[in-house]
Chains A and B, each alone.
Chain A
């Protein structure tokens, strides 16, 4: 049996039409939707602070509404998503209400929780979990600032359990991205938890599709080379306007073919797959997931047909006995503002503007140290500061100033300081009216681990009809 798993969301904010278009254009068994980047959880934690019924990836509800016709015409289609974020139960309740309204009240929804460690964090610490920072090795106890969120990256196991309990839609909080694919593969192929090579191979497939179109032509180095009918390439930009989102066809031995729906733009070739294979990878001999320790070094990637790439050779070893934890804490406030600086001496004028802003902030009683006051003259190479300089002077630059301060009022004041430059700075400035930015809290990241035995994943499966009807808005 070949299992076809698509991914049509690579982060919160990805194209809302991609899931619907993917299942319209291709027959798949599973649709996965990945919404949680490293810091998305802390943002969602803050959302939930303000509204206890929120804190999940609301994009998913919009997507679910768009998928109703597909769910009706393809009753075997299953969806696995980490859209639950900081509040999987609230997300599932809203999803249930959408399904009921559409006459799909019989659809069973699985909810995976247990990743949220914050409520019991001090108990874990008392029980000997030090939550040492990956890089600095400092124990969490040394941290003074308030913690916003702490989530363990759960694995494929609870997802497979939900599927085994007949869930058609599985909504999780924080799980490892690749596990969204490994869960269905493990369940459908009937693998054991010790089938390390199969788990490794499926993890590679999951890793390849987890960022959506980044494996099918998005962000591809050779974006301006298009495939021709004869299997060659020509100098023409890829059709990324209609880029297809990826599908992994996973065999019982775990090996997979990465492809995309027929008639879509972009390309799946050896190069796009290799690029995504190395994306965000550290030591390729030890790509760690909660499910398996994957060795990428012998992975081979072969184009077997147009937009079809076979991936083989992953080797699996038992995973570590701890879960990765993403923990975020408050660390002051930040804001950034832009303005266009045009014409002669534009770079010098932009720098002068930044000096003026800093001086006025000082006059107002706020001091920003150098590392908390960042000036970029975009158009001169400052996207990679210090790396290169344009040989000729540009005809315009965008001045971007970004600041950070422990006091919100200091950052608030900064956001007021760009507009006055229009009449009290150098000539040739525009774009200051685009709107004042608002200060936002900085959530600093504390990467750490927790012993697996401390964490209990919970799985709950019930039909949309059986959810209580009144949800708080």
Chain B
């Protein structure tokens, strides 16, 4: 029912949550804190690891250098106590703080960029 009412309507993540990102070697973390319980439930449903991977797709290494087996390039964790989701984005920093030639070597911009992720509107 909710879905049918919201078809076609889009909002951005910044409407539902605030964010903070940081680096962990060549990986980035993206914390997404919902503004409300309804927003948290909505994010759990729609802000999947796949959605985050799709949004940040151009930033990942083209080849997987890590030999550690990872089913996907983004992993999602839940923090129900503060109604937040945490994403780990593997091998997304072009070498990380030490080696990366990017201006943003430490994933500082990821949290601001993520505010533009589009999602179905809250029902």
A contacts, CB < 8 Å to B: 37-39, 42, 134-138, 219-222, 271, 274-285, 296-301, 313, 328, 331, 334, 336, 372, 374, 376, 378, 382-388, 400, 402-404, 442-445, 447
Contact = CB atoms under 8 A, between A and B. Distances in A.
A384 B56 CA distance: 9
Interface stretch (B2-10, B43-51, B58-66): B58-66
Q: Tell me whether chain A's interface is mostly helix, strand or loop, or mixed.
A: loop
B20 interface: yes
Nearest to B30: A278
Contact of B86 (A284, A384, A442, A443): A284
B103 A299 contact: no
Nearest to A441: B98
A300 B81 contact: yes
A281 B98 contact: no
A224 B115 CA distance: 15
Q: Tell me whether chain B's interface is mostly helix, strand or loop, or mixed.
A: mixed
Given A298-B81, A299-B81, A282 B99 contact: no
Contacts, number: 153
A171 to B, nearest CB: 25
A283 to B, nearest CB: 6
A404 B103 contact: no
A39 B31 CA distance: 23
Contacts of B11: none
Interface in B96-123: 96-99, 101-104, 108-113, 115-116
Given A38-B97, A134-B25, A297-B79, A278 B102 contact: no
A136 B31 contact: no
B67 interface: yes
Interface of B: 14, 18-27, 29, 31, 33, 55-59, 65-68, 77-82, 84, 86, 88, 91, 95-99, 101-104, 108-113, 115-116
Contacts of B68: 134-137
A328 B103 contact: no
Nearest to B31: A278
Which 8 A-B pairs rank lowest in CB-CB distance, beginning with the nearest? A278-B31, A386-B58, A374-B101, A221-B18, A280-B22, A275-B20, A402-B101, A135-B66
Contacts of B29: 278-282
B18 A378 contact: no
Contacts of B21: 279
A284 to B, nearest CB: 5
B86 A404 contact: no
A271 B18 contact: yes
A444 B18 contact: no
Contacts of B33: 271, 274-275, 278
A404 B99 contact: yes
Contacts of B19: 221, 275
Contacts of A135: 25-26, 65-68, 91
A387 B77 contact: no
A38 B25 CA distance: 8
Contact of B101 (A219, A276, A336, A384): A336
A404 B104 CA distance: 16
A128 B80 CA distance: 41
A313 B81 CA distance: 8
Given A387-B56, A444-B99, A445-B96, 16 more contacts: A137-B67, A221-B115, A279-B29, A280-B29, A283-B88, A284-B78, A297-B80, A298-B81, A301-B82, A336-B101, A384-B109, A385-B59, A385-B102, A445-B25, A445-B26, A445-B99
A447 B23 CA distance: 13
B20 A444 contact: no
A329 B58 CA distance: 28
Contacts of A38: 25, 97-98
B101 A334 contact: yes
Nearest to A328: B98
Nearest to A285: B77
Nearest to A334: B101
19 contacts: A38-B25, A38-B98, A39-B97, A136-B68, A219-B108, A221-B14, A274-B82, A274-B84, A277-B82, A278-B29, A278-B31, A278-B86, A279-B21, A284-B78, A284-B86, A297-B78, A331-B98, A378-B103, A385-B102
